[in-house]
Amino acid sequence: MINKKLVSLSLVFFFLVCSGSVYSGGFKDFFKKYVKTSAIAAVVRKAAPALNDFINGLLLNKGLPNRSQTKVVPLFSFGEKLAVGAVQVSGSSKQLAKVRACVQIDGVFKSGKFRVKAYVPTTSSTKFKRVHGVGVTALIDYHVR
């Protein structure tokens, strides 16, 4: 189990380094953000059931109940800054069981007139394999400073 976690963390670390996340702030700043990001993701996974219940209650109180199964997973955003938070995803029980994380991909359209944020439910925090038939129904955002 420890070897799998070490490999997973190494892959995330490698991905972040290769994607250009080490910037002029240097390796020390990057490493601090990486540790914070990993810690927040662990907290999100621990708090996921309570967050999920809160979101479902919030929607129910507004007359907008979910009719599909839901769960909360960590969200990793690799844009102008590294951010981690959480999203609630919704779908069939079978597909939802496959989702372990969600990735946010940022882009601009029409020379920056539109800012686009695409949310992709994935099977892992390190392997970006999309899970079809699952959508994001709520966003919980926390920026790593």
133 Cβ neighbours under 8 A, 6+ residues apart: 91, 92, 95
Domain ranges of the chain: 2-143
User: Does the reported pTM lie above 0.85?
Assistant: no
**pLDDT tens digits for range 91-118:** 999 999 999 999 998 888 998 899 899 9
d(CA 84, CA 145): 11
**pLDDT tens digits for range 73-89:** 999 887 767 778 899 99
